[in-house]
Amino acid sequence: MLKWLLVIGVIAAVYFLFIKKSIPLTSGKKTGSKTPDDDTMVPCEECGVYISIDEAFIKEGKYYCSKSCMEAK
């Protein structure tokens, strides 16, 4: 009986030390929340031209394609 408990303990230790560590954890993002990626395209609030988020100008949570469009509002 003690041998079986020892074998089960060793198997459990191997599982928790090696196998469970290799499973990647999620990055903490909720599945319902959307965060913009660098390649996401958004329309300019002034002229409607689509631009990527990393090139956009942001003012008060709205995206603009240029400073002239941003200052027009």
Blockwise average pLDDT, block size 10, the chain, 73 residues: 91 81 56 61 93 90 91 77
Tell me if 8 is assigned to some domain.
no
Tell me if 2 is assigned to some domain.
no
Tell me if 59 is assigned to some domain.
yes
Question: Considering only CA atoms, which of 72, 69, 39 is closest in space to residue 57?
Answer: 69
Tell me if 53 is assigned to some domain.
yes
Helix H, strand E, coil C: the string for 33-59 is CCCCCCCCEEECCCCCCEEEHHHCEEE
Domain total for the chain? Answer: 1
Model pLDDT, residue 21:
61
CA-based end-to-end distance of the chain: 80
Q: Which residues, 6 or more positions from 58, have their beta carbon under 8 angstroms from its beta carbon?
A: 64
Model pLDDT, residue 29:
53
Model pLDDT, residue 2:
87
